[in-house]
Every structure is written in structure tokens, then in C-alpha cells.
């Protein structure tokens, strides 16, 4: 039994994919070199994922011995306007790609293309949002999009508003790669100029140490240099995508598309801070949380609260006081920064002896009145200078 690419593409599109492409499963040697170089330069900022083992993530044969072809699929997600409820409560923004679990339907769609291959006696493994494959490089090779200057893949007609995945198979589906999609960026540099922290240090190169989308996922103390720049973002950052012309066109085209069930565009910060660990994980479990520890969501929420909270509100003061008395020094440390930025009392601080807490007590802090969250662009040619 043979399976042809046109049949598989039709299967994928019926399953909801907005783009399907095919390419050979040769190693991504250029991507491996780039990953090694950027990791050596520290641009990964401690990020793991495909950086963990570049030689593995750039070699499809590590997933399927004898891999011959890749089927790359893209599932479009909604990027509706992120309006803030007008009830006076502090709200945090959720990036468009994290407002719902898009990877579950993506994997399901990829499986519909893998099943006929397995039925024909071939091996076929689905990879999406994992460490095993450089999905953007695969999408580019498969001819479904071009490399954007923000390092995302942009699909004709959809921009970068899609999640990517692939089927790795030993079926000899193609003998050559398709022609690359023509670059659609031209001289545009809106993503470079629109990044709130200057994280896009060159076209196609992101310094993860500055990227807010990574910093909210990184463990440890939230980098003080970027707390004000975080603004009201609780998870992810869409700025480089929001200013991208192809994305802006697509958002207008899909203005009335229904939102999938999920977290929505906003999270009520005080409600989040009141949730128990189990409730946090059950509610936001689809997000990447370091070592599945809810403390990092609370850390992010305290940074957001420091930026957007109204210090005269009793619930805000109560939330900060609870965090100041938290047994976790990471939470207490960020509560100290939050309280000082909002101009609130530190009387509820239960233990100031921990080094993390002491560091926050000694750190210069501008209040939210003196230093509201703004777009901040450090000089990209020099080390980052702290905004506070």
C-alpha cells in the first residue's frame, strides 16, 4: 500500500491544518551550527528545549531511525484584541499562543497523517512542542513559510500566528525539497524596533536573556532589569508579532472568528494569587512552568501587580502582605519589590534574612508613579542598562 503526498496533505487540511508541507529528513546542519554558536555565546539564556542537545534536535533520524521524510503542519491560532475588563481590578495579559491549548489539536491533526503511513507499514512519529526537532527549520525546509526577522516562521496568508509540528517517517515521500518560500519581510524592521526590551539583536537573532516570552518561563529570580518592561504580561509576549504587517492583516481578517475555550486574553491577578498550588496547576497546566512549580506563576503575578496594581485597593494590599509572609523566599523577595514599587509597607515581611530577600531590600526601586511600564529600548550595541 502506497501513500502519496497529495492525499496526506488533504487529510491534514481536513483535520484543521492551515498549511502542510513535505521535505527530506536530512540533518539540519545549519541549524545545529547556529544552536551551538548561540548557546556558546549565552544567547539561549539557560533555555533548554532544542538547545539542550542540538545534535539530537537537528537530526530527524534520532526520532525515527532511517527517517526519509518530514510532513510539516501548521495550525492557526486566534489573536483577537486583548481588551482589559473595566472593573478596576488588576489584569494580566496572556500571549495569543497561550490563550488555549493549541498543541493538542495540532498533534491530533498530525496523527491523522501519520496513521495512513503506519497502516502502509512505515514508522511515523509525531513531534510538536518538544525537544526532539527544530520545528521552525523543518517548516522552512518544507516550504510552508519564510524566516521572519523575529526568528518566527511566517506563513503566506497566516503570518506567524500558527503553531508548528511534524511527522517524521521512514516513508520515502519526496526525493527533493521544495523551493523555499520567498522572503516577505524585505526592508521592514518593525519587529526589531517594536520589541520592548531590544531582544531581537539582529534580524533572525533573539537574545533569550532579554526576551520577555522566555523570562516568564525561566526559573529563579525574575531579572530586575526587565520587571518594569514586563508591564502587564503574565505569560508570553506578542509585541514582535503584533507589529508584523502580515499578522496585522490576518488579525483583521479573523476579527470575528470564535475564540477557543481556554484562559482568555486576560487573567485577574489577585484571583491567581489566591489560588492553591493544585488549582494553579489545573488551571494553567498547559503553560510551561519550570519544574511544575506554581511559585513561578506567583512570581510573575507579583511583578505584574507591581506594575499595574492600585496601592489604595484593600485586596492589592492584602495580596502583597500575604506574599510578604510567604514561607518561600522567592515569593517574599518579589513581594518586597512589589511593595516598594507600589509604595506599600513592608511590615508584613516575615523573614528578611534570606539572601534573595536582602538583595531586594537593597535594590534601588522606582515607584509605579515615577516609573510606569513603558516600552524600553536599551542600546543594542552595548550591555543592557537597568531601567530602574
Contacts of 304 (CB under 8 A, 6+ apart): 90, 92, 230, 231, 232, 233, 234, 269
Distance from C-alpha of 10 to C-alpha of 113, rounded to nearest angstrom: 9
What phi and psi values does residue 137 have, to the nearest 5 degrees? -65, -40
Angle at which helix 355-362 crosses helix 329-342, to 10 degrees, equals: 10
Closest CA to 376 of 384, 368, 365: 384
Of 101, 129, 328, 354, catalytic = 129
Q: Is 105 exposed, middle or buried (0-12, 13-18, 19+ CB in 10 A)?
A: middle
**227 and 173 Cβ atoms separated by less than 8 Å:** no
| 328 part of the active site | no
> Measuring CA to CA, how many Å separate 152 from each of 139, 160, 170?
10, 6, 27
Q: Is 241 exposed, middle or buried (0-12, 13-18, 19+ CB in 10 A)?
A: buried
Estimate the share of the chain in helix, then strand, then coil, as percent rounded to the nearest 5. Answer: 40, 10, 50
Catalytic machinery residues: 129
Amino acid at each position: 500500500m502506497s501513500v502519496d503526498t497529495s492525499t496526506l496533505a488533504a487529510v491534514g487540511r481536513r483535520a484543521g491544518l492551515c498549511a502542510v508541507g513535505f521535505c527530506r529528513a536530512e540533518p539540519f546542519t545549519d541549524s545545529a551550527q547556529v544552536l551551538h554558536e548561540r548557546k556558546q555565546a549565552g544567547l539561549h539564556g539557560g533555555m533548554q528545549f532544542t538547545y539542550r542537545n542540538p545534535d539530537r534536535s537537528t537530526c530527524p533520524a534520532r526520532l525515527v531511525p532511517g527517517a526519509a521524510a518530514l510532513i510539516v503542519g501548521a495550525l492557526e491560532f486566534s489573536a483577537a484584541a486583548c481588551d482589559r475588563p473595566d472593573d478596576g481590578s488588576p489584569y494580566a495579559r496572556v500571549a495569543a499562543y497561550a490563550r488555549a491549548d493549541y498543541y493538542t489539536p495540532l498533534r491530533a491533526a498530525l496523527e491523522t497523517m501519520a496513521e495512513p503511513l503506519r497502516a502502509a507499514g512505515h514508522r511515523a512519529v509525531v513531534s510538536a512542542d518538544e525537544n526532539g526537532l527544530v520545528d521552525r527549520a523543518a517548516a522552512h525546509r518544507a516550504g510552508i513559510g519564510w524566516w521572519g526577522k523575529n526568528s518566527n516562521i511566517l506563513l503566506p496568508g497566516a503570518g506567524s500566528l500558527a503553531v508548528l509540528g511534524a511527522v517524521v517517517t521512514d516513508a520515502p515521500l519526496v526525493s527533493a525539497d521544495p523551493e523555499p518560500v520567498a522572503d516577505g519581510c524585505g526592508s521592514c524592521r518593525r519587529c526589531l524596533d517594536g520589541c520592548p526590551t531590544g531582544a531581537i539583536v539582529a534580524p533572525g537573532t533573539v537574545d533569550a536573556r532579554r526576551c520577555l516570552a522566555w523570562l516568564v518561563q525561566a526559573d529563579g529570580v525574575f531579572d530586575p532589569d526587565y520587571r518594569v518592561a514586563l508591564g502587564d504580561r503574565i505569560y508570553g509576549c506578542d509585541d514582535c508579532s503584533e507589529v508584523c504587517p502580515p499578522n496585522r492583516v490576518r488579525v483583521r481578517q479573523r476579527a470575528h472568528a470564535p475564540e477557543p475555550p481556554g484562559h482568555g486574553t486576560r487573567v485577574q491577578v489577585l484571583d491567581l494569587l489566591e489560588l492553591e498550588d493544585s488549582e494553579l496547576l489545573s488551571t494553567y497546566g498547559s503553560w510551561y512552568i519550570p519544574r511544575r512549580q506554581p511559585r513561578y506563576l506567583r512570581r510573575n503575578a507579583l511583578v505584574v501587580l507591581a506594575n499595574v496594581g492600585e496601592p489604595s485597593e484593600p485586596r492589592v494590599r492584602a495580596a502583597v502582605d500575604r506574599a510578604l509572609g510567604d514561607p518561600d523566599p522567592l515569593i517574599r523577595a518579589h513581594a518586597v519589590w512589589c511593595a516598594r514599587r507600589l509604595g506599600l509597607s513592608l511590615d508584613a515581611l516575615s523573614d528578611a534574612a534570606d539572601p534573595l530577600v536582602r538583595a531586594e531590600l537593597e535594590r534601588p526601586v522606582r515607584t509605579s508613579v515615577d516609573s510606569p511600564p513603558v516600552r524600553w529600548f536599551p542600546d543594542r550595541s552595548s550591555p543592557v542598562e537597568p531601567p530602574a
